[in-house]
Chains A and B, each alone.
Chain A
Amino acid sequence: MKAPRPSTLAWLALFALLAWPVFDWAVLQAVWPADLEACRAARGSGACWGVIAEKHRILLFGRYPYDAQWRPVLATVLIVAVLVAGGLRRIRHGWQVGLALALLVAAVVLMRGGAGLARVPTNQWGGLPLTLIVSLGGTLLAFPLALLLALARRSQQPFLRGLATVYIELVRGVPLISLLFMAAFLFPLLLPTHLRIDILPRVVLTIAGFAAAYLAEVIRGGLQAVPAGQFAAAQAIGLTWRQSMQFIVLPQALRVSLPALVNSFIGIFKDSSLISIVSLHELTGAMSIALGGDADWRSFYLEAYLFIALIYWIFCFGLSRCARGLEARLRH
């Protein structure tokens, strides 16, 4: 074995210098049980993970009625199961897609109530299930629109193409926040008084409209990657435009754009944190209701932030691994 180079030692020393205080704070000196006195005593020297033990219910589920919180738990499990199955590429056949969608609908019904369960109004939803529902719901709703936009943008009809281009560029040119404010403040003015839509569906629709513009560009990229000869050949054997698209071009285009689609989903998942700005208490917002009103525990914000960040990180990292896997498979 070679002796380590001096530069290696220097690097390791630097690393240790940086990492040691963090390790000391986060593990060695940390307080784990929900013990306020111990946490106060450890202030400045050790982390207070007790704040999570104390507040995990609100952090994870927001203001959802306490006694009914098995419902968001179950809903989260269902959604995560679907995500994992998708990530492991276990959803291939039509019936599996149907089952996945049915599970997602079941998750929403669980949250909302009905079918024998007590109704829980959407403004009491919160935490992780809300993050999942908004980002996944937004993406799924965005997909058909994105497909149409992508096809329209490559269409030979000038009006159609113009329309799609304007929509895509317009939406991509403005920040999501301004669209969310629109959903919160403007949307109600756009509809007649008797048609009232809750803020949650308004926000999900807005996110869908936003995501569609980005997904459309990804799909367009995929369409461009399909050789023109494929379409010509399909037409030559007598398929109509629709058939050629449906059976020949789109399947290939979507396969190519799959990794990028997953990456877009990661983006939307992270962006869903913005809905806390219009007072929907998904993960980020749930944290402020968990600690905001509690003068005792409020000083341990940093630990709560890290906990929430870890949840986001697990999902995003997992998904990005899955995107990378897809990419690697495509190259073969």
Chain B
Amino acid sequence: MISRSLHTLLLLGGLLGASLTAPVAHAGKTLDTIKQRGTLQCGVSTGVAGFSLADSQGRWAGFDVDFCRAIAAAVLGDPNKVHFVPLNSQQRFAAIQSGEVDILARNTTWTLNRDGALGLSFTGVTYYDGQGFLVPKKLKVTSAKQLRNAEVCVQSGTTNEKNLAEYFRGIGVKVRPVVFEGFEASFKAFFSGRCQAYTTDISGLAGVRNKEAPNPDDYTILPEVISKEPLGPAVRRGDDEWFAIVRWVPFALIEAEELGITAANVDKIRAENKDPAFTRLLGSGEDTGKNLGLDKDWAYRAIKSVGNYGEIFARNVGPESVLKLPRGLNNLWNKGGILFAPPVR
């Protein structure tokens, strides 16, 4: 009797459960959702100078921020229709998995494990970086190899945490990681003297040194670059159409730099230049947008609102900005760097 009723119960539960299960979301959903919502939800870091930083009025600026604005301009026609969601290293993957953000533009390193196991897909690289060390000058250290018994502040849930362990084991130097959940806690501890060194991507180090240090000149970045950190946007797995958009907007901005199109001259060039390479990109000729589910002016709007890749770089992280980073690898392929956009056609 009991087992019979148990059986019925299970059957009933299973049936009801199955009938309640919602249909699985389909590819193409993200773009529709964004258009319906009218804003792009963009996950950024909680405040890394040069990449994403909110001022006291809550206005965001930075390298990662600009890519989100470019995408919003391409998709929604307005670079300001972005809602920025600050995420620390721990929360970022959950936020993209859960659909809380449509795109993760947050100095995140593209690795096989993340591409494979975390339910997200990287769309490309917007900044080629590597991991380094920041130390106080007064320690008179000139190489990471001298950091014997030092304590190194690092943020948890990052590639940096893993590289740190691997690097020092490799060279047989003992250091002790002091791991923090939050970015702010980690550099606060470093500047208060809790750690002798701070480690993260070199771009991040430049931000920490030049923006957060009480006196930037007291700190220096060591010459060692211990890893490859290709940073780029990621989207949730399973929506190819949205993936393509997020992949191609940065390409269009790189292409624009190669063609010499800037935010300032884009209107003039669009009106005057009849070269197909230009008309295709700027929507005055062949319609490239339809392949992405966008209109033909998508790239024009992106360039118009944030400028080409070079302008974004210069404004936020380049030699003239607070971060003072050289173009280095992040220059065009024909100018000594490795940025190479596939043909926009």
A and B interact = yes
Complex interface: chain A residues within 8 A of B86 (CB): 123, 279
**Distance A184 CA – B88 CA, assembled complex (angstroms):** 12
Q: Select B46's contact among A124, A188, A279, beta carbons within 8 Å.
A: A279
Q: Which residue of A lies closest to B185 (CB)?
A: A288
Complex interface: chain A residues within 8 A of B97 (CB): 188-189
Q: A189-B98, A196-B100 are in contact. Are A66 and B88 (CB under 8 A)?
A: no
User: Once the chains bind, are B211 and A295 in contact (CB under 8 Å)?
Assistant: yes
Complex interface: chain B residues within 8 A of A295 (CB): 211-214
Q: Smallest CB–CB gap between B323 and chain A, Å?
A: 15
User: Once the chains bind, are B94 and A184 in contact (CB under 8 Å)?
Assistant: yes
A1 touches B (CB below 8 Å)? no
* B53-61, B166-174, B289-297 - interface stretch: B53-61
User: Once the chains bind, are B47 and A185 in contact (CB under 8 Å)?
Assistant: no
User: Once the chains bind, are B85 and A66 in contact (CB under 8 Å)?
Assistant: no
Q: A63-B58, A288-B182, A295-B211 are in contact. Are A193 and B99 (CB under 8 A)?
A: yes
**Distance A111 CA – B57 CA, assembled complex (angstroms):** 17
A298 touches B (CB below 8 Å)? yes
**Contact bitstring B125-169, A, C-beta under 8 A = 1, else 0:** 000000000000000000000000000000000000000000000
User: Once the chains bind, are B47 and A293 in contact (CB under 8 Å)?
Assistant: yes
User: Once the chains bind, are A199 and B47 in contact (CB under 8 Å)?
Assistant: no
Q: Which residue of A lies closest to B30 (CB)?
A: A193
**Contact bitstring A265-296, B, C-beta under 8 A = 1, else 0:** 00000000000011100000000110011010
Q: A66-B56, A288-B184, A295-B212 are in contact. Are A194 and B94 (CB under 8 A)?
A: no
**Contact bitstring A53-72, B, C-beta under 8 A = 1, else 0:** 00000100001011000000
B22 touches A (CB below 8 Å)? yes
Complex interface: chain B residues within 8 A of A199 (CB): 100
Complex interface: chain B residues within 8 A of A278 (CB): 91
Q: Select B94's contact among A65, A185, A198, A289, beta carbons within 8 Å.
A: A185
User: Once the chains bind, are B214 and A292 in contact (CB under 8 Å)?
Assistant: no
User: Once the chains bind, are B94 and A279 in contact (CB under 8 Å)?
Assistant: no
B18 touches A (CB below 8 Å)? no
A 181-223 contacts with B by CB, 8 A: 184-185, 187-189, 192-196, 198-199
Q: A184-B94, A193-B25, A194-B22 are in contact. Are A292 and B213 (CB under 8 A)?
A: no
Q: A292-B188, A295-B213 are in contact. Are A66 and B57 (CB under 8 A)?
A: yes
Q: Smallest CB–CB gap between B183 and chain A, Å?
A: 8
**Distance A196 CA – B85 CA, assembled complex (angstroms):** 15
Q: Which residue of B lies closest to A57 (CB)?
A: B56
B81 touches A (CB below 8 Å)? no
Q: Which residue of A lies closest to B210 (CB)?
A: A295
Total interface residues on B, using CB and 8 Å?
A: 33
**Distance A125 CA – B246 CA, assembled complex (angstroms):** 29
User: Once the chains bind, are B188 and A298 in contact (CB under 8 Å)?
Assistant: yes
User: Once the chains bind, are B53 and A293 in contact (CB under 8 Å)?
Assistant: yes
Complex interface: chain B residues within 8 A of A66 (CB): 56-58
Q: Smallest CB–CB gap between B206 and chain A, Å?
A: 14
A299 touches B (CB below 8 Å)? yes
Q: Smallest CB–CB gap between B95 and chain A, Å?
A: 8
A121 touches B (CB below 8 Å)? yes
Complex interface: chain B residues within 8 A of A194 (CB): 22, 25, 29
Complex interface: chain A residues within 8 A of B88 (CB): 279
User: Once the chains bind, are A188 and B94 in contact (CB under 8 Å)?
Assistant: yes
User: Once the chains bind, are A299 and B214 in contact (CB under 8 Å)?
Assistant: yes
Q: Smallest CB–CB gap between B276 and chain A, Å?
A: 41
User: Once the chains bind, are A184 and B91 in contact (CB under 8 Å)?
Assistant: yes
Residue among B22, B83, B94, B182 facing the most chain A CB atoms (10 A cut-off): B94
User: Once the chains bind, are A123 and B85 in contact (CB under 8 Å)?
Assistant: yes
Complex interface: chain B residues within 8 A of A279 (CB): 46, 86-88, 91
Q: Select B54's contact among A63, A185, A288, beta carbons within 8 Å.
A: A63
**B residues bordering A, Cβ < 8 Å?**
21-22, 24-25, 29, 46-47, 53-54, 56-58, 83, 85-88, 91, 94, 97-100, 181-182, 184-185, 188, 191, 211-214
Given A187-B98, A192-B22, A288-B182; 10 other pairs, CB 8 A cutoff: A63-B54, A66-B58, A123-B86, A188-B99, A189-B97, A279-B46, A292-B188, A293-B53, A295-B211, A295-B213
Return the 6 tightest CB-CB contacts between A and B, nearest first: A188-B98, A292-B184, A192-B22, A193-B25, A185-B94, A66-B57
In the complex, 15 of the A-B residue pairs with CB atoms within 8 angstroms, ordered by the A residue number, are A66-B56, A66-B58, A123-B85, A184-B91, A185-B91, A188-B94, A192-B21, A192-B22, A194-B29, A196-B99, A278-B91, A279-B88, A288-B182, A292-B188, A293-B47
